Structures are given as structure tokens and as C-alpha cells.
Amino acid sequence: MKKVEIGSSLMRAAMETIFLADSPVGKAVLDRDLRYVHINQTLAAFNGRSVDFHLGRTVQEVLPDAFPSLKPLLDQVIFEGRPAQHFRISVVMPDSDGQTSEWEASYLPIRMPDGSVGGVYVQAVNLTAKLLTERALEDSEKHLRRVLDSLFAFVGVLSPDGTLLQANRAPLDAAGIDVKDVVGKPFWDTYWWSYSESVRNWLQTACQRVAAGEIVREDVLVRMSADSRMALDFMLVPMRDDDGVITHLIPSAIDISDRKAAQQRIESALRERTVLLQEIHHRVKNNLQIISSLLRLQARASDADVALALQDSENRVMAMALTHQLLYERTDFSALELGPYLKRLVSSLRDAHGQLMLRIQLRVDAPDSGLQIGLSQAVPVALVVNELLTNALKHAFEGGRSGQVEVKAFRVDGKTVVSVSDDGRGLPLGSKLAEGSSLGFSLVTLLSQQLNAELVWPQLGQPGATFVLTLPLSEVSL
């Protein structure tokens, strides 16, 4: 009964945490009559009302204009048990003089123990600001494109010695110069190029190469009006007469602003992806920490043996959470530095074992950088090290003995090696390690197989114990 009460209290507390937490996602719970039972501040603000205003009121009362569109979706969830996911809807916000709010929302059925639908879980993201920004950006890009289109093409004619003979109007207008300012001059001495000695020298050499029959193509910067710069895809080709003699050099260029803009969009998308992955790892870490906290709470209400097993499970969960914590702190999601990873893992075990650390020294010998493991290896390696350290701390120093446990990580012949050793009493004769004489050793065996790693077990009946895990070659270790 006590456990049921604790579980019920914990679920209530969890619900309160979910709905009170600061979140960009609007959340609500509706009963079968479509009355608000729970709603977070984010969704309440989306609707233009307070949280208290919503509670006990129906969707129709809160959003009268939107309700005719929402009702079929809500009926689908309530009466058919089918979710309505990722739909978009525009809602006139109350007391806003007709101002609309754009949403992307999902309605999910809340199943009761008997399988019936007891209510609706609402999840919504307000897209208004995003859409306004996108529209403004789109309008800005269209305007900029129209401006750049007038500067788009450059076509000219040079004599074989590089003297400019003709130029079209667009680049002249763009540079704010007149044709007489450039015609008759060496091309590299004209306004577009004369801003830089190195650029002038490059173009002069390019003209010589083309006069000898080559074709030159390069992305270059040219000077425009007000000493601004424009990126061009520039090409210089020879023009030949019927006899194959080079009579002129033809420069042409197109504006590559769109390409540059696309590159910037890609870079922006990559930055957004990085932020998103960091957020995902952060949330996974938080969820694992919640699980760890649940195990800790359960341990407090359990007898000694159960509490010890729950503490072991808590340590395993925290070892997994550490992976996501370190990934959240990094921008490279393909690999982890093993040294800092092990040091953080050992530090968390020190905290978990408290008084035991007064008589046992727990050390890590691993470089802070230059020893990476792949992401797929990180969690299994952490769990193996966690199990071996936990086993040493629990069994190697019985009877109040003092000693030390050491974790080492290094590379041999391109392979990453992790060892866990102690100077305790050692493993007794007759232990069947590889056969899984305990849950911990069973996990170590299974995880080593998952890693395709070689695990060397300690010699039985000897003082001290050393486990050596050798990881296979991976892309990050090559």
C-alpha cells in the first residue's frame, strides 16, 4: 500500500512538473466533455487566456471561433480513439481585434485501464512568430534578388593584350562608373579590380594565360559602387577566328549570390541541427536522471538487499545519462573523448559510494584528449567500467580493508584498451566469470560481445584483480 501511495504521489508530482515546466511546447489535458483539466502556461498564452481561466471550461468556451474546425478532430479522438497529429490551424485570439495565431497541434487519446478513451492530450507549437519571420525573410530575399538581377551578368571584349574594348551596361551601373572610365584601359586596372594589388596581378596573369589558349574560371570578388564587393563566377575565354587565331579575350561573369546564400542556409541548417541534437541529448539525459531519481526513491522504501540492487541499477542509468550529458556539452556527436568520460564516470561513483571512499582510493589514468571512442561504443564501455568498478568496491575490500582501484585507458596498435584493476583479495578459485556468475559479470560478458571487444579476465586465486577490455578498430581510432 505504501508503494502504491508513493507511486501515486510521484505521478501527481510528475504531472505537475510537466505542466509547470517552462517549455516552448503547449500542453493540455481535456476530459471527455472537452473541458480543460490541465494546461501549461505556454498553451494558455497561445490561447490568449490565463491558466485559471481555462480550467473547467470547454474548448468551445475558450476558443469559440476555432471550435467548429477543432470539434471533428476532437470527436475523432474521443469517439474513435484515433489521434489527430501535426495539423495546422489558424485561431483568432480572444480580445485581440481579429489577430490570428498559427498552430501546429496534435490530439492524442488518453487510454484508461479498461482501454476506453478518458480524455485528450493536447500538444501544440505556436508557429506565428516563425511564419512571420519566414515571410519577412522571403520578402527580403525576393527584393534582394530583384536588385541583384540588375547586376547579374557581365560581358566584355578584350584585345589579346588585355585592353578592355567593350563592356555591357549592368556592371557599369553597378559600379557607378561610365564606359569612358574603363574602355581603353588594361582590364586589371579598371575600377572593378583595382582595389587589390594581388587581385590585379592574378587577373593580368589570367589574361596572359587565356591569350595563350587557356580557359580561366574562378570565383572572384569585384569592387562595386561605394567600394562594396560582389562575388562573381568569373570566366575568361579566348575567341578565335576561322583560322584558329586568338583575336579577342571574352570575360563574362554571373552573380553567385544565390549560391552563397544557399551555402549560408546550409550552414545555418547545420547550426540548427547541432542545437537540435544538443537539445535531444539534454532531454534524454534529463529523462535518465528522472529514472535514476525514481530508483533512488524506490530504494529508500525498500529493504537492504532490494535497495542495494536498486542502487546498482541507478548507477547504470547514470552511466548512460553521462554519455548524453557529454554529448550535450560537445558539438561533435560522432565520438567522445574517453579520458574525460571515464573521469566523470568515476567521479559519479565516488559520490554514490560516500563513506566507502574514505578507505578506498579510486583513480583514473587516461589522457584528456586524443583518445576517442565512437558514439556506439560509449554507453557499453561506460556500463562495463561501471560494473567492474562496482564489483571491486563491493567485494574486493571486505572486512574494512583499505586499498585502491584504478581505471586506465590507452591505445595499443591503434586499438583502445581500458583496464580496471584493484589490489584487493582477488577472485576466489572456482569462480565462473565468463559464464556469468553474477548479474554484473553477465552484463560485462554481454556488453563485451556487443562491442566485439576482447575481454581478458583476471587470474583466479591470486591477490588483486585486473580486467582488460580491448576495443576493435573503429573509424574514430584510425
Instruction: Tell me the pLDDT tens digit for each residue of 292-339.
Output: 667 667 767 677 667 667 666 666 667 666 666 666 566 555 677 888
Q: Per the structure block, which three cell numbers stand in for 347?
A: 567521479
- Contacts by residues 393-399 (CB-CB < 8 Å, ≥ 24 positions apart): 393/349, 393/353, 393/356, 393/360, 393/362, 395/424, 396/422, 396/424, 396/425, 396/426, 396/465, 397/359, 397/360, 397/422, 397/424, 397/425, 398/425
Range of the domain at 61: 2-129
Nearest alpha carbon to residue 395 among 360, 365, 343: 360
Mean pLDDT taken over the chain: 80
| pLDDT score recorded for residue 272 | 67
Taking 50 as the threshold, does the pLDDT of residue 90 lie above it? yes
Is 37 among the domain residues? yes
**CATH assignment at residue 184:** 3.30.450.20
Q: Per the structure block, which three cell numbers stand in for 117?
A: 478513451
Last residue of a domain, one of 333, 366, 386: 333
Taking 90 as the threshold, does the pLDDT of residue 35 lie above it? yes
* 361 and 476 belong to one structural domain: yes
- Is 0.95 surpassed by the pTM of this model? no
- Segment 84-97 shows an average pLDDT of 73
- Contacts by residues 457-461 (CB-CB < 8 Å, ≥ 24 positions apart): 457/433, 458/426, 458/427, 460/426, 460/427, 460/428, 460/429, 460/430, 460/431, 461/426, 461/427, 461/428, 461/429
* 104 and 178 belong to one structural domain: no
* 422 and 306 belong to one structural domain: no
Q: Which of residues 252 and 201 earns the better pLDDT score? A: 201
Nearest alpha carbon to residue 230 among 171, 181, 177, 183: 171
The CA distance from 202 to 325, in Å, is 50
Q: Do 426 and 464 contact (CB within 8 A), yes or no?
A: yes
Is 141 among the domain residues? no
| pLDDT score recorded for residue 477 | 47
* 75 and 184 belong to one structural domain: no
| pLDDT score recorded for residue 97 | 63
Taking 90 as the threshold, does the pLDDT of residue 277 lie above it? no
Q: Which region among 263-267, 298-302, 340-344 has the lowest average model confidence (pLDDT)?
A: 298-302
- Segment 89-115 shows an average pLDDT of 78
Q: Do 256 and 233 contact (CB within 8 A), yes or no?
A: yes
| pLDDT score recorded for residue 244 | 92
The CA distance from 300 to 303, in Å, is 8
Q: Per the structure block, which three cell numbers stand in for 241?
A: 577566328
Taking 80 as the threshold, does the pLDDT of residue 101 lie above it? no
Render 248-311 in DSSP notation, one character per residue.
EEEEEEEE-HHHHHHHHHHHHHHHHHHHHHHHHHHHHHHHHHHHHHHHHHHHHTS-HHHHHHHH
- Segment 25-32 shows an average pLDDT of 90
Q: Which helix (DSSP H) or strand (DSSP E) does residue 418 occupy?
A: strand 415-422
Instruction: Tell me the pLDDT tens digit for each residue of 348-395.
Output: 777 776 666 778 888 989 998 888 887 778 888 888 888 888 888 888
Burial (CB < 10 A; 0-12, 13-18, 19+), residue 312, is buried
| pLDDT score recorded for residue 162 | 95
* 338 and 413 belong to one structural domain: yes
Is 144 among the domain residues? no
Is 135 among the domain residues? no
The CA distance from 237 to 88, in Å, is 53
The CA distance from 117 to 108, in Å, is 10
* 356 and 468 belong to one structural domain: yes
Q: Which of residues 197 and 276 earns the better pLDDT score? A: 197
- Segment 211-228 shows an average pLDDT of 91
Percent of the chain with pLDDT over 70: 72
Helix, strand, or coil (residue 177):
coil
Is 28 among the domain residues? yes
* 475 and 350 belong to one structural domain: yes
Q: Do 103 and 127 contact (CB within 8 A), yes or no?
A: yes
Is 380 among the domain residues? yes
**CATH assignment at residue 447:** 3.30.565.10
Last residue of a domain, one of 208, 233, 258: 258
Q: Which helix (DSSP H) or strand (DSSP E) does residue 439 occupy?
A: helix 439-450
Taking 90 as the threshold, does the pLDDT of residue 288 lie above it? no
Domain count, the chain: 4
| Strand spans (E) along 36-158 | 36-39, 84-92, 100-111, 117-126, 153-158
* 7 and 62 belong to one structural domain: yes
CB atoms within 10 A of CB 134: 11
Q: Per the structure block, which three cell numbers stand in for 442?
A: 553477465
* 286 and 373 belong to one structural domain: no
* 395 and 476 belong to one structural domain: yes
Q: Per the structure block, which three cell numbers stand in for 457?
A: 579476465
Is 263 among the domain residues? no
* 252 and 294 belong to one structural domain: no
* 97 and 15 belong to one structural domain: yes
Helix segments in 374-413, DSSP class H = 375-395
| pLDDT score recorded for residue 235 | 92
| pLDDT score recorded for residue 138 | 72
Nearest alpha carbon to residue 26 among 7, 49, 10, 3: 49
| Strand spans (E) along 15-132 | 26-31, 36-39, 84-92, 100-111, 117-126
User: What one-letter code names the amino acid at 305?
Assistant: D
Q: Do 476 and 372 contact (CB within 8 A), yes or no?
A: yes
| pLDDT score recorded for residue 302 | 72
Residue 159 pLDDT level (bands cut at 50, 70, 90): very high
Is 264 among the domain residues? no
Nearest alpha carbon to residue 62 among 76, 77, 49: 49
Residue 144 pLDDT level (bands cut at 50, 70, 90): very low
The CA distance from 336 to 320, in Å, is 13
- Segment 174-187 shows an average pLDDT of 90
Last residue of a domain, one of 289, 313, 333: 333
Identify the DSSP state of 428: P
Q: What are phi and psi of 164, to 5 degrees?
A: -75, 125
